[in-house]
Amino acid sequence: MTEHGDRPTDRAPALPPTADRAAFEAELDRLRIREKAHTREGDAIAAARRRLPMVEVDAGLELTGPDGPVTLLEAFEGRRQLIAYYFMWHHGHDAAGQCEGCTWVTTQVQELSYLHSRDITYAVFCQGPYEESRRYRDFMGWDVPWYSAVPSQDELLTGRHVGMMHIVCYLRDGDRVFETYWTTRRGVEAMDYSYALMDLTVYGRQELWEDSPSGWPTVQGTPVDAVRLRSDGRPIPQWSRIEVGRSDTLTP
């Protein structure tokens, strides 16, 4: 049995039926037709997203960064576009008690050069105090730009559920800032590659909501996000940080 979120290896789950190469390739060819249609529909949705109207946002809304107050405009770092991930925060909780979903997606956003090559800045807007949340960022070893949205989060997320994970996209036109798109819940899977890779495997994500054959393995037999993305009481990627001796204390 492995630890800290790895799947057990001491029991065999159900298996797909066996076929010869010709039968396998024929079934795969039939699936390819649906995959290609799915890809084309995704392209069409992205095209429609690019044609959405935009709404102006106060460019002077205050964030807190490493050197104190900064404006939303300054968070663009001079680039034309900004993608902000609004990180949920559990006030007064230690690292083990922080959001497993936000930890899951933020862990997977590492190399920003491709975004920068398209004039896009990526940043985390944490919905918690800067110093406390910055210590969590440091414990996790993330080096993406990090701000606290607390000073302006009601205005930044107007009409939406403050305290929930969001991706919000912004466009800068000179000194003016516009919001062009936002999403939440499963929409934040755009940041994730682990689930995308799992979806290619025979057992998939191993979650109860999936349409899988009888006998397929499931993660700890529960549909609850907190359990699927946690192991032994912590968000799964925290264990590798603990094992190399990093402190997960978030208070001074």
pLDDT tens for each residue of 67-118: 999 999 999 999 999 999 999 999 888 888 898 889 999 999 989 999 999 9
Model confidence at 209: pLDDT above 90: no
- Domain total for the chain? 1
Identify the pLDDT of residue 75. Answer: 97
In whole angstroms, what is the distance from residue 35 CA to residue 76 CA? 36
Residue at 150 is within a domain: yes
Q: What's the rounded mean pLDDT across residues 217-234?
A: 68
Residue at 219 is within a domain: no
pLDDT tens for each residue of 3-28: 555 554 445 689 999 999 999 999 99
Identify the pLDDT of residue 122. Answer: 97
For residue 215, give the DSSP letter.
T
68 CB-contact burial (10 Å; exposed 0-12 / middle 13-18 / buried 19+): exposed
Residue at 160 is within a domain: yes
Which domain CATH number covers 74? 3.40.30.10
Antiparallel, parallel or unpaired: β 166-173 and 176-184:
antiparallel
As a whole number, the mean pLDDT across the chain is: 89
215: its two tokens: 């006998």
Identify the pLDDT of residue 246. Answer: 87
In whole angstroms, what is the distance from residue 65 CA to residue 145 CA? 9
Residue at 162 is within a domain: yes
Residue at 119 is within a domain: yes
1 — pLDDT class (breaks 50, 70, 90): very low
Give whole-number Cα distances, 104 to 73, 82, 172, 237, in Å: 28, 21, 29, 8
Model confidence at 221: pLDDT above 80: no
Greater confidence (228 vs 51) lies with 51
Identify the pLDDT of residue 9. Answer: 47
Residue at 252 is within a domain: no
Greater confidence (236 vs 150) lies with 150
Q: Characterize 168-196 residue by residue with b for buried, 16 or more Cβ atoms within 10 angstroms of its Cβ, and e for exposed.
A: bbbbbeeeebebbebeeeeebbebbeeee
Residue at 61 is within a domain: yes
137: its two tokens: 């960022």
pLDDT tens for each residue of 120-138: 999 999 999 999 999 999 9
pLDDT tens for each residue of 135-162: 999 999 999 999 999 999 999 999 898 8
Model confidence at 225: pLDDT above 60: no
Residue at 75 is within a domain: yes
Identify the pLDDT of residue 19. Answer: 94
Identify the pLDDT of residue 6. Answer: 55
220 — pLDDT class (breaks 50, 70, 90): low
Could you tell me the pTM of the whole model?
A: 0.87
Identify the pLDDT of residue 22. Answer: 96
Domain span holding position 124: 53-189
